[in-house]
Amino acid sequence: MARKKNRKGDPVHGWLNFNKPVEMTSTQAVGLVKRLFNAQKAGHGGTLDPLADGVLPIAFGEATKTSAYAMDADKDYTFTIAWGSSTTTQDREGDVVAQSDARANMEEISAALETFVGDIEQVPPKFSAIKVNGERAYDLARDGEEVELQSRQVTLYEARLDEASTRDKAIIHVTCGKGFYIRSLVRDLAAKLDLEGHVSALKRTRVGNFEISEGNSPELLEAVSDLETRRRLLVPIEAALDDIPAIEISSEGEMKLRNGNEFRLLPHEMSKFQTLRAELQGEDSDDRVALAMADGTALALGEIRAGFFKPFRVFQI
């Protein structure tokens, strides 16, 4: 019988609101905090490009089972468009492919920006992590291959041109849904205005409940010498589940969940779920996903059907 492989580190669970600096990759960020927290397992909740800085939620241990929820969460960005040149990558890393002295005024930019608010069709950048026939689009693009990516529906909830913008630089604040590419927005906005432009700076200021004002920089984390004190910077698993009803369950339900079994909700538990669902998702929501809690600790994600809680993610904490 094969011996079970021992994992390095401790079984750490929870989320870290990490403030990633420019030039650091998301993978490097995970490696850094995994070492600083001496954690067995860690992963990020949505890639942030090396040229971007800001919020990068990092999950430890059982929290990695909720990473998809962070990736799907609404996000806030502040970015700068440098007018005058377009690049292969739509950001300052790429080679210049077109230049122009043409500029637009603030009113023209704001009006054009407004046309992208709502549910729109967006073609991802050729330099992106999307897979094409099993290969990353950016690898194909770097090899000089023509990459044809299909448009997809994304949502831009809000977009605002900052008053500090100048003739040569537009500073824009947006709130968007999952799968939205800022570089694609800049490409399409420039085309609409008949201008050339690229992203010169990009900061992610929020991912779901994770706000940049509460983020932890590498310098802050390394300045905390005591491991236990550092771990107190983590937030619970449910931090990434802000729009999912969380209900405290009975001890009997807890025992069944610990074994991965479904259980029948008590009347007050069912009522609590329905009330929270309406508050978080609206009166018309028919979403059946709920988070089971016991003494303030997340136990499992599951679906509620015919009065039963049926788990599909059980947290081993």
User: What residues are annotated to the active site?
Assistant: 49
Give the type of residue at 314: V
Distance CA 294, CA 165 (A): 50
For residue 158, give the nearest of 228, 75, 97, 272 by alpha carbon: 75
Neighbours of 295 (CB within 10 A): 8
For residue 277, give the nearest of 245, 251, 247, 300 by alpha carbon: 245
Distance CA 72, CA 131 (A): 18
Residues comprising the chain, all counted? 317
Tokens linked to 172: 């824009």
Neighbours of 305 (CB within 10 A): 10
Q: What is the CA radius of gyration of the chain?
A: 22
Instruction: Find the helix or strand (DSSP H, E) in which 207 lies.
Output: strand 197-207
Distance CA 37, CA 215 (A): 16
Distance CA 308, CA 51 (A): 47
How far, CA to CA in Å, does 39 sit from each of 14, 59, 193, 271?
11, 10, 49, 38
Packing angle of the helix pair 182-193, 106-114 (nearest 10 deg): 120
Residue 69 falls in which region: left (phi positive, over 0), alpha (psi -120 to 50) or beta? alpha
Tokens linked to 265: 């909700």
Neighbours of 189 (CB within 10 A): 21
